[in-house]
Each structure stands twice: as structure tokens, then as C-alpha cells.
Amino acid sequence: MINETMYGLGSKSSVIRELFAYGLERKKVVGEDKVYDFSLGNPSIPAPHEVKDALLKLLEEPAEVLHSYSPASGDPKAKQMLAESVNRRFETHFSGDNFYMTVGAAASLNISIHAITNPGDEFITFAPFFPEYTVWVENAGAKLLITPADTESFQIDFEAFEKLLSPKTKGIIINSPNNPSGVVYSEDTIIKLSKVLCKKEKEYGHTIYLIADEPYREIVYDGLNVPYIPKYYNDTFVCYSYSKSLSLPGERIGYIIVPDEMADSKRVMAAVNGAGRALGFVCAPVLFQKAVAMCADVPSDIEAYARNKDLLYNGLTRLGYDCVRPQGAFYLFVKSPEKSGDAGEFSERAKKHDVLVVPSDSFGCPGYVRISYCVAEKTILDSLPVFKAIMEELKA
């Protein structure tokens, strides 16, 4: 007998993966440039040259240094370099000891959730949200509750959120800049969230952890400030990844920060080490631990994303599509223009025109589609007449 839950997870692909696979097949039939695939969040900008420079330099090191195990939580020097970079940028005072190196944000979240979960615990997140949260929270033996989206502002609907809080609440998962809405939670939102959680911690007499999922932190437009959450709320795990900021998704590299200010931080860090051990997430790829440490201050190259965002947002808005104004990440969240308002129906209609957009139902916010604009600029330019034809078809 196999584990049926795991069978279920492994035998069904996500809607996103299904669309992507369909796109690959369809391209073979009609041609690469005739399919407008906006399904995946795979960075289209190459990693900055500093990454290659760092790797070439590292390859000069003796193989036994380069390919050896690091300590389970990561290379001490790399962790210290990363801590110093974070301190320079966010006026924090971390040391390498506050860091646990991981294979990307997926591992950062899994480890953090496992480190704090006991049977019967609940986590809360805010729609729209990254669908894998449900898988990760349930795999740790907890339950994920969803705060419905505030579709006016895509900030937090605090009235709805407070109704979900209870003595069972162990953690809150927050993602900003947000996949899929592209919105950044404002400083006001973070201050309000912190106040609500501090009040509830006192009321329930236990810690409520805030898990900040931050792979898009550096991808923001118009100089917008993304509040650094540990500065507002002590009991925060920072779950970071270089998948998007340095365009290194396949290298699987990221980290967790457990700040000293967190309640019982030493015990929590020990539990993070324990969860990493239990899950087999130890000793993240050493070459890339060292490479990202050397590139810690390299800014993300977001020019191309910013251009794509403007082209798509302005282009679609002009055609009559109702789009959420993106502030960060590389996704445009667009209201389904179908009479029914159904996202699946619009995704299917677009698919018939070889435009692949992801219906929002699995993000916990029905009635929208997500358009990933981490694609070639030409794909966006060529797709606009097709989006126009789709709109005309809808109006006919």
C-alpha cells in the first residue's frame, strides 16, 4: 500500500503545470511564436553577470573545499556575508547564526512550518495565495485557513482575518510582493497586522509566528518600499530565495532567518535545524551558498520586467480589461471579462486563441486570471492583438 495523499499529490499536476505542458505540445503544432504562454513564473531575465563571475572564481578553489558538505545549516562564512548584506540594506543586526540555508523558498517554508507545528495547529493566509501553502501546511499535520481577498485593494481584509484567529492559530503566512496579485502590502497593513497579532498573542498566551514568504522582495516597481517585516513584528520567520531575485530557480538556493527578537529564538532555531534534519533539507548546495553570498549586494535586474509590466498593463487596460495595478513580482491579475465572471471559462476561451493564462480559483480568489509577464517582450507585443480579438469576441 502506498500513501494515497502522496499519490494524489504526485499523480495530478497543478493547473499551471498542465497549461505549461499543453503550451509545449501546442508550440510543436502551430509554431513557437504562435503560442502566448503566460502560465509559469520562470524568470526570463538571465542571472546577473556577477553570478557567473563568482562561479568562475569559486571553480578555482580546490574540489575538496568546493564540493564538501557544509554544516547542515549552511556555510558559516556565507551565512555571515548574507547577514551583513541584509543588515546594510534593512538596518537590522543579524549574524550568520540567525540564518539557515535552504534549497529555495519552498524548503524555507516547509522547514519553518514543520519547526513550529503540533497536532491540531492552524495557519492562516490571505487570498490570493500561492497554492502550495495548502500542501505544505497539511503535510506538517496542520490546517490552512484562508482569509478571503479584499478585491478593492488586495491588501488585508482585517475583519475577515480576525474572525479566523483562535487559540489554535500557530502561524500566519504572508507573501509580498504577492504572487498572483502583484500587490505589495503597505506599511500601514503590516503595522495593523503586527498590532492584531501582538494583541492575540497576549490574549491566547502563546506565540503566533508570522512566516514572510519573500522570493519577490527585490522585484518592485517605481521605487516602492517593501516593509521589512521583522522590524515590525518580532516573531517573524523570513523565508527568502534567490529563484527570482537573481534568476536562479533551478539552483535551489535560499535561506530562513530566525531573528534573536523572536520569543525563545534559540529553541526555535534548534527546531528549524531539527525540521531541516527530519525533512532531509540539510547542507544546501555549497557552490551556490558561496556564490549568492558573493553576490549578496548585487541588485536585481528588473528593467525588462518593468517594461513588460507597463506594456501589458497599459495594453490590456486600453482594451477594456480590468487589471490590478502591479507593484511588484511579475504577475498581472486580471478580472475575468466573461459574462459569468468565471475564470476557468475565460482561461478556456483564451486557450482557443493560443493565449495561456491561469485561472485564479486555485489561488483562493475566483474570477481572475494570472498572467505571468516574465516572458520575452515580443510575446507581449504579439499577444495584444490576440487579446483584442478575444475582447471583441466577448462583446459580439
Chain residues that interact with ligand PLP, rule: CB under 6 A: 41, 104-106, 130, 175, 179, 213, 215, 241, 243, 249, 254
Which residue, 172 or 390, has its beta carbon nearer to ligand PLP? 172
Which residue, 109 or 350, has its beta carbon nearer to ligand PLP? 109
Name the grid cell of 190. Answer: 503590516
Q: Are 278 and 115 in contact (CB under 8 A)?
A: no
Which residue, 285 or 388, has its beta carbon nearer to ligand PLP? 285
Name the grid cell of 208. Answer: 503566533
Q: How far is the CB of 310 from ligand PLP (least distance, A)?
A: 22
Which residue, 161 or 240, has its beta carbon nearer to ligand PLP? 240
Q: How far is the CB of 333 from ligand PLP (least distance, A)?
A: 13
Which residue, 130 or 281, has its beta carbon nearer to ligand PLP? 130
Q: How far is the CB of 10 from ligand PLP (least distance, A)?
A: 18
Which residue, 211 or 390, has its beta carbon nearer to ligand PLP? 211
Which residue, 245 or 354, has its beta carbon nearer to ligand PLP? 245
Q: How far is the CB of 281 from ligand PLP (least distance, A)?
A: 11
* Pairing verdict, β 209-213 and 236-241: parallel
Q: How far is the CB of 252 from ligand PLP (least distance, A)?
A: 7
Q: Return the bridge partners of 124, or none.
A: 145, 172
Q: How far is the CB of 285 from ligand PLP (least distance, A)?
A: 13
Q: What letter does residue 91 receive in the DSSP assignment?
A: -
Which among 148, 153, 187, 130 has a CA at the least distance from the CA of 325?
A: 153
Q: Are 248 and 242 in contact (CB under 8 A)?
A: yes
Task: Burial-class residue 118 by CB neighbours within 10 Å (0-12, 13-18, 19+).
Answer: exposed
Task: Burial-class residue 164 by CB neighbours within 10 Å (0-12, 13-18, 19+).
Answer: middle
Q: How far apart are CA 382 and CA 396, in angstroms?
A: 22
DSSP string spanning 312-326?
HHHHHHHTT--BPPP
Which residue, 106 or 115, has its beta carbon nearer to ligand PLP? 106
Which residue, 215 or 315, has its beta carbon nearer to ligand PLP? 215
Q: How far is the CB of 215 from ligand PLP (least distance, A)?
A: 5
Q: Are 9 and 135 in contact (CB under 8 A)?
A: yes
Name the grid cell of 38. Answer: 503566460
Phi, psi of 184, rounded to the nearest 5 degrees? -105, 130
Q: How far apart are CA 347 and CA 341, in angstroms?
A: 11
Q: How far is the CB of 266 from ligand PLP (least distance, A)?
A: 27
Task: Burial-class residue 311 by CB neighbours within 10 Å (0-12, 13-18, 19+).
Answer: middle
Which among 45, 108, 103, 54 has a CA at the least distance from the CA of 81?
A: 54
CA atoms within 13 A on the CB side of 150: 14
Q: How far is the CB of 249 from ligand PLP (least distance, A)?
A: 5
